[in-house]
Amino acid sequence: MLHDDSIPNSLNLEDLRFEPSEGLVIREPLGRGYGYWAGGAKVSYDQASGSFVLFYRQRVPLEKGRGGQCAIALSDDGATFTDVWTASKEQFAANSIEVGHCLRDPSGGWRLYVSYEYAAGPHWRIDVICAPTIDALDVQSRRTVLAPFEYGLPSLKDPVVYLREGTYYVYMAGPDRRVAQPRGETLAVRPWEATFLGISEDGFHFPELRKVFEAPGVDTWYGRRARINSLFPLEGGYLATYDTARTAYDMYEEQCGLAWSQDGLGFARIPLAQPWVRSPFGCVRYVYGLRVGNQLFFYYEYTREDLSHELRVSQVRL
């Protein structure tokens, strides 16, 4: 973790803030009520085709099957998307599908990094699927690239993938390795999710992970979860969006925080008295910021009045 004094004084968060209730709905949940979600989105901008490449998953309540399906959709304006690929949890032999990220690789082909809870484990892991075109991605050809047991961890999920000068940087959520220390007869809630970074020359082999962002472990809205969802470049570094929570009660209604990084390797939490953006009915989570020229596109899950989550996009001009 960096110190607060690494955050540039010129950073004006108000110039970047969007009003989530005014965002454009791009995907709706499969049903109404708590537990129906459309989101978990990651988006890449493909310079070669001028296309926005969206991964999202649709989920139903726990008792109805959890994260049952995922899709990749394309757009030429970042707002109107057409599905070009879909897959089900049965194809993955999964209990549930969560976040994935699809991007073009240096050879001109495509890769989908996707996280799911493997039914035979069960544990969360991250696989990659490669193909010459997006519609040719074949779930049967998936290969596990980030298996948690290789690092002595019980789970790894929610990949955020960036390709910088031919090197793959994959940020992912994993368990915080700190344990709650008893104070006499008192037990405090322990931090329970941190962000790890894997760096790879080929995007397949990750010999080590480093923990780059963690929760402070204090009793506040940002106290016990630190899952980075995106980084986007600004002058002097990167602004990161992350999901956070106070206790397990907030597991499915996390809130959005911000962090600053000069190099993508260390992060300083930006002090905020309350979540950066939120819905009047619950949360705004999985906020993914994508910079295309001088335009910022924010994709996010938004809690509706009926407590389901829909996928929205808002735009901010720099």
Q: What pLDDT is attached to residue 84? A: 98
pLDDT, greater one: 179 or 9: 9
pLDDT digits (tens, 9 = 90+) for 204-218: 999 999 999 999 989
Rounded distance between C-alpha atoms, residue 186 and residue 179, angstroms = 14
**Range from 35-44, 117-126, 175-184, 221-230 carrying the lowest mean pLDDT:** 175-184
Rounded distance between C-alpha atoms, residue 194 and residue 226, angstroms = 5
Rounded distance between C-alpha atoms, residue 235 and residue 229, angstroms = 20
Report residue 30: phi and psi, to 5°: -80, -15
Q: What pLDDT is attached to residue 211? A: 95
Q: How far is CA 173 from CA 99, 189, 253, in A?
A: 10, 19, 16
Q: What pLDDT is attached to residue 215? A: 93
Rounded distance between C-alpha atoms, residue 37 and residue 186, angstroms = 36
Q: What pLDDT is attached to residue 309? A: 98
Let me know: does 83 contact 72? Beta carbons within 8 Å.
Answer: yes
Report residue 257: phi and psi, to 5°: -115, 175
Q: What pLDDT is attached to residue 22? A: 97
**How is the chain split into domains, by residue range?**
4-178+188-317
- The residue-averaged pLDDT of 140-162 equals 97
Given pLDDT bands bounded at 50, 70 and 90, which one contains residue 185? confident
Rounded distance between C-alpha atoms, residue 117 and residue 157, angstroms = 9
Rounded distance between C-alpha atoms, residue 144 and residue 303, angstroms = 32
The CATH H-level (homologous superfamily) assignment of domain 4-178+188-317 is: Glycosyl hydrolase domain; family 43 (2.115.10.20)
Given pLDDT bands bounded at 50, 70 and 90, which one contains residue 7? confident
Rounded distance between C-alpha atoms, residue 170 and residue 47, angstroms = 20
Please state, for a pLDDT cut of 70, what percent of the chain lies above it.
Answer: 98
pLDDT digits (tens, 9 = 90+) for 165-184: 999 999 999 998 777 777 78
Rounded distance between C-alpha atoms, residue 294 and residue 55, angstroms = 23
Rounded distance between C-alpha atoms, residue 270 and residue 3, angstroms = 10
Rounded distance between C-alpha atoms, residue 278 and residue 309, angstroms = 12
Show the tokens assigned to 27.
Answer: 């995907």
Q: Is the pLDDT of residue 1 over 70?
A: no
- The residue-averaged pLDDT of 40-57 equals 97
- The residue-averaged pLDDT of 134-147 equals 98
Q: What pLDDT is attached to residue 2? A: 65
Show the tokens assigned to 237.
Answer: 């570094």
Rounded distance between C-alpha atoms, residue 221 and residue 225, angstroms = 9
* Residues whose CB is less than 8 angstroms from the CB of residue 109 and which lie 6 or more positions away in sequence, other chains included: 130, 131, 132, 133
Q: Name the nearest CA neighbour of 20 among 270, 303, 291.
A: 303
Q: What pLDDT is attached to residue 94? A: 97
Q: What pLDDT is attached to residue 231? A: 97
Rounded distance between C-alpha atoms, residue 216 and residue 298, angstroms = 26
Q: How many CB atoms lie within 10 A of CB 76?
A: 12
Rounded distance between C-alpha atoms, residue 11 and residue 235, angstroms = 9
Report residue 141: phi and psi, to 5°: -90, 5
